[in-house]
Amino acid sequence: MSLQEKFDQAAANVKNLKALPTDAQLLNLYAHFKQATVGDADPANRPGLLDLKGKAKFDAWHKLAGTSKEDAQKAYIEIVEGLIASIGLKE
């Protein structure tokens, strides 16, 4: 199975977790997913002052600037595997 196929499977598995991950875990997932699929975040697109959730997501993603697509995919897969081990998947 290729890295892209493993990444796609991990993305599908996230939707089938038994419970919702913590906010910190969700931010980490989001950041790695965006880095793997879009690349570096553009600072010009940072959400406005009142969009706290959007800013948190953007900032988490922006911290991964310079991370390669492959490294972001590998990290995302590892995060998802850890969540599956701790939370489990729906039957």
pTM of the model: 0.93
Only one residue has tokens 């599956």, namely 84
Instruction: Flag whether pLDDT at 43 surpasses 90.
Output: yes
Confidence of residue 9 (pLDDT cuts 50, 70, 90): very high
Domain boundaries, the chain: 3-86
Closest CA to 73 of 41, 40, 37, 22: 37
Q: Output the pLDDT for position 91.
A: 79
What fold is seen in the domain 3-86? Acyl-CoA Binding Protein (1.20.80)
Please report the pLDDT score of residue 4 as a whole number.
97
Residue 77 has pLDDT above 90, yes or no: yes
What does the alpha-carbon distance between residue 70 and residue 90 come to, in Å, rounded to a whole number?
Answer: 28
